A and B are shown apart, each in its own frame.
Chain A
Amino acid sequence: MTRFLNKKESLILAIVSFLILVVLPCLNAFVPKESFFHVSDFTINVYGKYLCYAVLALGVNLLWGYTGLLSLGQCLFFALGGYALGMHLMLMIGKLGQYQKDIPDFMVFLEFETKYAETGGLPPHWMPFRSIWFAVLMVIVVPAVVAYIFGFLAFRSRIKGVYFSILSQALTYAACLMFFRNDFTFGGNNGLTDFKFILGADINTPETKRWLFIASGVLLLSVYLLCRWLTSTKFGLIQRAIRDSENRVLFSGYATAHFKLFVFVLSAVICAVGGALYVPQVGIINPSEMSTDKSLEAVVWCAVGGRSTLIGPMIGAISVNALKSWATRAFAEQWLFMLGGMFIFVVLFMPNGIVGLPAQLKALKARYIDRKKSGEEPAPVDATEPAPATKSAD
């Protein structure tokens, strides 16, 4: 581990992880409610959600920031992971649903009992999800397979740049329409909700929420370390080379399609695992979670935080979502203005995001001092200089 993390970094990482994984949950569990230091159950739950978003942002960033592939389908994988675990959680409800039957409520409602009479109303592909291990396996396998097939087709025919974005958008849109259908057996419009138990524990108690929060923290930490390690290897170097000039990499003898495919599948799995932890914390998964808008929002987190860094997307995901939670409560009407404005502003004026802001300010200051010294007409301030990240190939 020390090979790719220097001492200072390790120390900071250790402190932050300690704060998130130990201090926050302890403040929630052991500090009395009246105390100033108490962290409420609600806060823990919300932060847990943000951590999952940060995992998603890391997945998007691995693809966009480091490989130059802007996928508008990452939320599809996020939702697929969520659905896979959600199916298990649905089956764990048991007879506690509205209809007090063995199968989930929406299946009773949609008359699956007559449709799938031989299995007692449960569609055959739901059966194995009674096992948590199978569900966890599916959280990884299903998105990986979908990403593999789509990526294989897309990269084989050398679809890249904006075409890749548009195609991934179409894939997401098609999947979203599919999940909205009732006879697709995943609850249609309403999705999966009303979960009761996870691993035998009541899902709505503060204690379970706390453990889920810790799990999200651990997940984020390990995904971060994985990305950190991957990007510091030779593989990461080729990844960035593909981003900056794919053709040159291709002509140097590297099969870029294979590299891209691997990154795409890996990113899909990362997003999916994030989604799987997200679902028990918010208690619902439905098709709107996989719409293109959500994917674009995840891209904005990266852009706001600073893409092509690992810390940026996490900062972006947490800060934008914290802003969203606050703004949708304070001025619900204006939230879309703010989000849209943020998009435009970040793209036009902050190509390197929050992380790149100090460097940008320094450059501005240097220019200001220069101008003062020479007393000449200022050179036009070109804040829109392209980010190094997406210099187009040739």
Chain B
Amino acid sequence: MMRFLRFLLLAVVFLAGPWQIRAADSNRADLVTAILSEDLDHQIEIIKKLSDADEPIVTQVLAAWRLSEVYIYEQDDKKIPFLLDPQLNSDGEAKGLRIIDGSVINDAEGKPIWFASFDLVPAENNSKLRIAIKATLDFFSLSDPNPKVRRDATIKLGQSQNLDYIPNFEAKLKKETDKETIRALKEAIALTQLVDEKKEARIAGLKKLGELRSINSMSFLQDFLKKTKEDTKVDRADERKQAESTIKIIEGYIAMGNFAGTSFRGLSTAAVLLIAALGLAITFGLMGVINMAHGEIMAVGAYTAFVTQNLFKSWFGVSGGKFDMYFLVAIVLSFITAALVGLILERGVIRFLYKRPLESLLATWGVSLVLQQIFRSVFGAANVQVGSPSWLSGSFVVHDVLFAYNRIFVIVFAVSIVYGTYLLLTKTSLGLQIRAVMQNRNMASCIGVRTERVNMMTFAFGSGLAGMAGACMSQLANVGPSLGQNYIVDCFMIVVLGGVGSLGGTVSASLGVGVTNQVLEPWLGAVLGKILVLSGIILFLQWRPAGIFATKSRSLDG
């Protein structure tokens, strides 16, 4: 009867449609056969065979079968397997859809029959069957259009170390184009080979894993090594040797990866510190003004980024390329707003205090309190959300080392603003004047430099840099009223450590502190690492009280 039905269907479909549909319907028929079969081995065989047939209906039916949601309806002594239509009527009942062709099951009068799921008999399944179905479903993911899904499925199947899968892997390997997935497939084959009965295959697998630098298989390798040691029946010395050398290769690779990762993270931490400290290196290092409100000026920049983001959101909507450009605009705007705030601060407070640095410390701390309270009143005490533009989120992986785009951006940004500052100081007339005023205010004033104006411009520029730092920070850290407080101590320490008045010193100090921080962090945790770095700086200043790059001067307190 079944055969006949299948034949009939085949014939109909063959006449009616293109190849795929015929294949799909043959799959449907296979499914029906499997469901109705009484023989477990036969069922499993069919299910395995279906692992090549990646059709939505197959996935759907197999998944339903695994969850006991495939039902059987007996009509005229025929068993009809069917699924329930997801659309329920008001009584919670649904129409039955035949698996064989997806048509609705009708009663004798040609009206659809309504089924309630609780009084139906599900098609039987047992644990063996479910495992087979699971494997087949996993194989479907191997041909998923998304490479990432394929990769994950490969890794999972490889780790189950089932020798039966090897032919499937090899078949996929021939078709696969995605590099990462090819690697994953090779890894999966090699990993599965470890449980092969033949010693040669096992050794080949071990070698292959070493070649692939497979970090994922580390625990399997260790188990394998343990087994070879415990096995007293057979001598497995050469296998053990191979396993040991493979583990060594992979460990070396992991160490390299860790080193590269730590260096990268250290570099990006250094870049963050550098961006934050650069403005201070100008205002404190060059001008000698202790600006305790430096952190709050950074926060001004960060909040400018937040406002810009919201404006772009209301003008252009969240999606689309225009919104993604908001961040570039925000960087420019944050420079301008922060520079304006700096200008007001210089004109209003600091210019009276150039000769009294300790008091400028107190007054600017007062300013920082006022600014913090303004942020709280305007934007609320909670952190605000500044989203990343799409070109800054995400990351790429090279040799198992993760490179996040925003961290790369921070490094590039730091390098470019340091270079820009360097150009400004050395190649422009303003830079010349700034350096002149810094070296000897009175002399500069005597030869006609308008020192008041230069002070103003320098302070505004330093504040603008702080604002840009804040905008940049909005991509990495929380933006809240106390944003500045978290960086102020670090910034001052870096400028002092680097040597006041020296840009090169600031760069090298932030590199040193950033990398040390990242190296210490895995051992000691973030907080203890930070404490150690701070005490290290205090001790370092014993050795070189004026910092790494001391500005040479004959003045007594130089």
Asked whether A166 lies within 8 Å of B496 as measured between CB atoms, the reply is: yes
Docked-complex contact B358 and A159, CB < 8 angstroms: no
A386 to B360, CA, bound (A): 12
- Contact flags A164-203 to B (C-beta < 8 A → 1, else 0): 0111011101100110110000000000000000000000
Type the 1/0 row for B90-124, where 1 means its CB is closer than 8 Å to any CB of A.
00000000000000000000000000000000000
Q: Which of chain B's residues have a CB closer than 8 A to the CB of A342?
A: 366
Chain B residues whose C-beta falls within 8 Å of the C-beta of A173 in the assembled complex:
489, 534
CA–CA, A173 and B487, complex, Å? 11
A336 and B373 contacting across the interface, CB-CB below 8 Å: yes
Contacts of B358 in A (CB 8 A): 70, 161-162, 165, 390
For A303, give its contact among B362, B369, B530 (CB under 8 Å): B362
Within 8 A of A (CB), among B377-415: 377
Chain B residue with Cβ nearest A334: B373
Contact flags B343-378 to A (C-beta < 8 A → 1, else 0): 000000100110111111111011111101100110
Which of B353, B370, B372, B537 contacts A170, CB < 8 Å?
B537
Is B363's CB under 8 angstroms from A392's CB?
Answer: no
Question: Is residue A299 contacting chain B, with contact meaning CB distance below 8 A?
Answer: yes
Size of the chain A interface, CB-CB below 8 angstroms: 49
- Across the interface, do A333 and B545 meet the contact criterion of CB distance under 8 Å? no
A352-394 residues at the B interface, CB under 8 angstroms:
384, 386-387, 390, 392-394
Return the contact of B538 from the options A171, A292, A343 (Cβ within 8 A): A171
How far, in whole Å, are A161 and B489 apart by their CA atoms in the complex?
A: 17
**Beta-carbon contacts under 8 Å, B499-553 to A:** 527-528, 530-531, 534-535, 537-539, 541-542, 545
Contacts of B493 in A (CB 8 A): 166, 170
Interface pair B370/A347, CB less than 8 Å apart: no
Name the residue of chain A whose CB is nearest to the CB of B538: A167
For residue A128, CB closer than 8 A to chain B, the reply is no
Q: Which of A104-157 contact B (CB under 8 A)?
A: 150, 153, 156-157
Q: Is the CB of A343 within 8 A of B527?
A: no
Q: A153-B538, A159-B541, A167-B541 are in contact. Are A340 and B373 (CB under 8 A)?
A: yes
For residue B326, CB closer than 8 A to chain A, the reply is no
> What are the residues of chain A within 8 A of B356 when measuring CB–CB?
386-387, 390, 392
Shortest Cβ distance from A330 into chain B, in angstroms? 16
Bound complex: CA A297 to CA B534 (Å): 23
Q: Which of B471-511 contact A (CB under 8 A)?
A: 489, 492-493, 496
Chain B residues lying within 8 Å of A178, measured Cβ to Cβ, are 527, 531
A5 adjacent to chain B (CB < 8 Å): no
For A393, give its contact among B360, B365, B489, B557 (CB under 8 Å). B557
Give the residue name and chain of the A residue nearest to B528 (CB).
A181
Which interface residue of B363, B369, B492 has the most chain A CB atoms within 10 A?
B369
In the complex, are the beta carbons of B362 and A300 less than 8 A apart? yes
Q: In the assembly, what is the distance between CA of A61 and CA of B556, in Å? A: 27
> Quick check: A247 and B557 within 8 Å, CB to CB?
yes
Q: Which residue of chain A lies nearest to B526 when distances are taken between CB atoms in the complex?
A: A177
User: Of B369, B531, B539, B556, which one neighbours A336 at CB under 8 angstroms?
Assistant: B369
**Closest CB-CB distance, A186 to chain B, in whole Å?**
14
Q: How far is the CB of B521 from chain A (nearest CB, A)?
A: 14
Question: Which residues of chain B have C-beta atoms less than 8 A from A387's C-beta?
Answer: 356, 359
Q: Does A339 contact B (CB under 8 A)?
A: yes
A344 within 8 A of B: yes
Q: How far is the CA of A2 from the CA of B107 in the complex (A)?
A: 119
Flag A47-76 by CB within 8 Å of B: 1 or 0 each. 000000000000000000000001000000
- A32 to B538 CA separation, bound complex (whole angstroms): 57
Judge whether B537 and A386 touch: CB under 8 Å: no
Q: Are B357 and A162 in contact (CB under 8 A)?
A: yes
**Is the beta-carbon distance between A337 and B373 smaller than 8 angstroms?**
yes
B496 touches A347 (CB 8 A): no
Q: What is the bound-complex CA distance between A339 and B290, given in angstroms?
A: 19
Min CB–CB distance B94 → chain A (angstroms): 55
| Shortest distance between the CB of A343 and any CB in chain B (Å) | 3
Which single member of B355, B363, B369, B530 contacts A339 (CB below 8 Å)?
Answer: B369
Query: Is A101 an interface residue, CB under 8 A from the partner?
Result: no
| Min CB–CB distance A200 → chain B (angstroms) | 38
Q: Are B539's CB and A163's CB within 8 A?
A: no
Q: Is the CB of B492 within 8 A of A170?
A: yes
Q: How far is the CA of A384 from the CA of B363 in the complex (A)?
A: 13
The answer on a CB contact under 8 Å between A177 and B369 is no
Chain A neighbourhood of B366, CB < 8 A: 339-344, 347
Q: Is the CB of A167 within 8 A of B542?
A: no
Task: Assess the B363–A348 pair: CB atoms within 8 A.
Answer: yes
Docked Cα-Cα span, A384 to B370, in Å, equals 21
A348 contacts B370, CB within 8 Å? no
Let me know if A392 and B370 touch, CB within 8 A: no
**Which chain A positions have C-beta within 8 A of B372?**
336
Contacts known (A178-B531, A181-B527, A340-B370); A296 close to B556, Cβ less than 8 A: no
A158 interfacial by beta-carbon distance below 8 Å: yes
B349 pairs with A344, CB closer than 8 A: yes
Given contacts A170-B489, A178-B531, A341 and B541 within 8 Å (CB-CB):
no
Tell me the minimal C-beta distance from A148 to chain B in angstroms.
14
Nearest neighbor of A392 in chain B, beta-carbon distance: B355
Q: Which residue of A lies closest to B369 (CB)?
A: A340
Residues in chain A near residue B357, CB distance under 8 A: 161-162, 392
Whether B538 contacts A341 by the Cβ 8 Å rule is no
Q: How far is the CA of A339 from the CA of B534 in the complex (A)?
A: 29
* Residue among A157, A342, A394 with max Cβ neighbours from chain B (10 Å): A157
Contacts of A177 in B (CB 8 A): 527, 530-531
> How distant is B396 from chain A, measured CB to nearest CB, in Å?
34
Contact of A341 among B352, B370, B492 (CB under 8 A): B370
Query: Could you write out 18 A-B pairs with CB less than 8 Å apart?
Result: A157-B545, A160-B557, A166-B492, A166-B493, A170-B493, A170-B537, A170-B538, A300-B362, A333-B373, A334-B373, A343-B367, A343-B369, A344-B363, A344-B366, A344-B370, A347-B353, A387-B359, A394-B556
Q: Other than the known A343-B363, A393-B556, what 17 A-B pairs have Cβ atoms closer than 8 Å? A: A70-B358, A157-B541, A167-B496, A170-B492, A170-B493, A171-B534, A174-B535, A178-B531, A333-B377, A334-B373, A337-B370, A339-B366, A340-B369, A344-B370, A386-B356, A393-B557, A394-B557
Residues in B lying within 8 Å of A, measured CB to CB:
290, 349, 352-353, 355-363, 365-370, 372-373, 376-377, 489, 492-493, 496, 527-528, 530-531, 534-535, 537-539, 541-542, 545, 556-557
5 nearest A-B residue pairs (beta carbon) = A343-B366, A340-B369, A340-B370, A336-B373, A157-B545
